């Protein structure tokens, strides 16, 4: 499996459990971003692509041209949370405020109800499905400020924001821990209920894609992820089961 760092904790935990029960199966899991996972499906270099966004039309066309039709499996839900340092007094931001911060229009925390300090903006690289969800739901076509620092994974985002009292970033809900503080958006807290109902403005599906209809171990593994035991793993990793 290859792809999204958002889906990575689910994929790793599910792979471990599956291999415990099936001693003859070996699953390797790597994270390099949703786009890289989907590219690996197109190239035929991975069995399962993990993605925190849906596949694009041009990616489907490339896969079909290569003789394979990608099949999507929705395996979990996620709330994409804006995060700040725990010492930051800000608790809630609107979509407009988030957009203004990320475009560079708002540059001081006092402009959004915080202390009189500059904002350090941290974003994701363009191969990330998390970046694409943020671009679609928050940026709405506007460009992120070139001054924004760019990190390559959810884990790196948590580390960066935890070490900088001025920072703002965004992560999948499964990565939230005590080293960073999650913000509500438009007065709505991102959690299992608001993600499942779609109330939280930055909620999304998480996917596993296969190159054609899966067979053998790949099919059995996806069925396991979608089973009660697999959906329990989704919940334990901090994400939202689809059932």
Q: Spell out the domains of the chain, with CATH numbers in brackets.
A: 2-77+205-236 (3.40.190.10), 79-197 (3.40.190.10)
**pLDDT score at 126:** 87
Burial class of residue 174 in the structure, from the number of CB atoms within 10 Å of its CB (0-12 exposed, 13-18 middle, 19+ buried): buried
- Tell the residue number behind the tokens 């969800």, with chain if given: 133
The two three-digit tokens of residue 14, written as one number:
């599910």
**pLDDT score at 127:** 85
pLDDT in tens, the chain (243 residues): 999 999 999 999 999 999 999 999 999 999 989 999 999 999 999 999 999 999 999 999 999 999 999 999 999 999 999 999 999 999 999 999 999 999 999 999 999 999 999 999 999 998 888 999 999 999 998 999 999 999 999 999 999 999 999 999 999 999 999 999 999 999 999 999 999 999 999 999 999 999 999 999 999 999 999 999 999 999 999 999 998
**pLDDT score at 243:** 80
Q: Are 220 and 155 in contact (CB under 8 A)?
A: no
What is the rounded CA–CA span in Å between residue 145 and residue 147? 5
**pLDDT score at 199:** 95
What is the rounded CA–CA span in Å between residue 119 and residue 105? 11
């Amino acid at each position: 499996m290859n792809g999204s760092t958002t889906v990575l904790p689910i994929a790793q935990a599910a792979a471990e459990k599956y291999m415990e029960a099936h001693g003859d199966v070996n699953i390797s899991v790597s994270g390099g971003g949703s786009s890289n996972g989907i590219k690996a499906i197109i190239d035929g270099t991975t069995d399962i692509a993990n993605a925190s966004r849906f596949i694009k039309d041009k990616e489907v066309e490339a896969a079909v041209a290569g003789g394979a039709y990608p099949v999507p499996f929705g395996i979990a839900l996620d709330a994409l949370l804006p995060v700040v340092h725990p010492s930051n007094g800000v608790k809630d931001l609107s979509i407009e405020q988030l957009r203004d911060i990320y475009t560079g229009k708002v540059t001081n925390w006092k402009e959004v109800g915080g202390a009189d300090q500059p904002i350090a903006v941290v974003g994701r690289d363009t191969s990330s499905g998390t970046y694409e969800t943020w671009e679609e739901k928050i940026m709405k076509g506007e460009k992120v400020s070139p001054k924004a620092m760019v990190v390559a994974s959810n884990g790196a985002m948590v580390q960066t924001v935890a070490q900088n009292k001025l920072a703002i970033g965004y992560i999948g809900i499964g990565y939230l821990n005590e080293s960073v503080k999650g913000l509500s958006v438009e007065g709505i807290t991102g959690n299992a209920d608001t993600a499942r109902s779609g109330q939280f403005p930055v909620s999304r599906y998480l996917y596993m894609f296969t190159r054609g209809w899966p067979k053998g171990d790949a099919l059995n593994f996806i069925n396991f992820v979608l089973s009660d035991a697999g959906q329990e793993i989704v919940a334990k990793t901090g994400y939202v089961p689809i059932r």
